């Protein structure tokens, strides 16, 4: 906990959520292209052209803005068997062996358990930090992929609409 009583993990989680929402809003705003008919196309023809150009843009860009991923695939996997309990058990076993050699297995086990638990707790913290970094990297990659996909989609859509004689803004 920091001096304000908030845990760093909560801050990171909320930061990722806010960044994702901002990205989604930005992508939605950028994906709006305004097309005005130059040849007096009817409303029905405009709707048909927009739908067909949207489908063509998806084929050309490989990106469908209506199906853009909101979360990264997969998950972070930490090594198993570590942490406070695992570290304490391993420490106790090693301490008991060391204590038996020194003449007091019980005392050695207690010292080993405490030391193992301490190092297990440190490892758990390190894993949590690694997981947060991994999540942030995944969010950044997702944002970059969505931005690139949106840009490619828009270029294809605009090209199609211009070919059908629309003015684009």
Distance CA(114)–CA(109), nearest Å, equals: 9
- H or E element: which one contains 87? helix 84-102
For residue 26, the model assigns a pLDDT of 41
Distance CA(130)–CA(5), nearest Å, equals: 22
pTM of the model: 0.52
Closest CA relative to residue 147, chosen from 39, 55, 49, 28? 28
Answer yes or no: is pLDDT of 82 > 90.
no
pLDDT in tens, 1-19: 556 555 555 555 555 555 5
Top-ranked range on mean pLDDT: pick from 29-38, 83-92, 150-159? 150-159
What are the boundaries of each domain within the chain? 8-168
pLDDT in tens, 130-141: 999 999 999 999
Burial 9-35 (b: 16+ CB within 10 A, else e): eeebeeebeeeeeebeeebeeebebeb
């Amino acid at each position: 906990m920091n001096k304000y009583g908030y845990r760093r993990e909560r801050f990171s989680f909320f930061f990722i959520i806010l960044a994702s929402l901002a990205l989604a809003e930005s992508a939605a705003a950028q994906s709006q292209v305004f097309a005005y008919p130059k040849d007096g196309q009817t409303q029905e023809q405009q709707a048909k052209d927009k739908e067909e150009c949207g489908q063509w843009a998806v084929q050309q860009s490989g990106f469908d803005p209506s199906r853009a991923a909101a979360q990264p695939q997969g998950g972070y996997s930490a090594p198993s068997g570590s942490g406070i309990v695992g570290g304490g058990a391993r420490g106790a076993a090693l301490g008991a062996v060391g204590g038996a050699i020194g003449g007091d297995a019980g005392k050695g086990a207690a010292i080993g358990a405490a030391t193992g638990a301490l190092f297990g707790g440190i490892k758990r913290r390190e894993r949590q930090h690694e997981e947060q970094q991994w999540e942030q990297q995944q969010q950044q990659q997702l944002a970059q992929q969505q931005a690139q996909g949106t840009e490619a989609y828009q270029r294809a859509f605009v090209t199609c609409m211009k070919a059908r004689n629309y003015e684009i803004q």
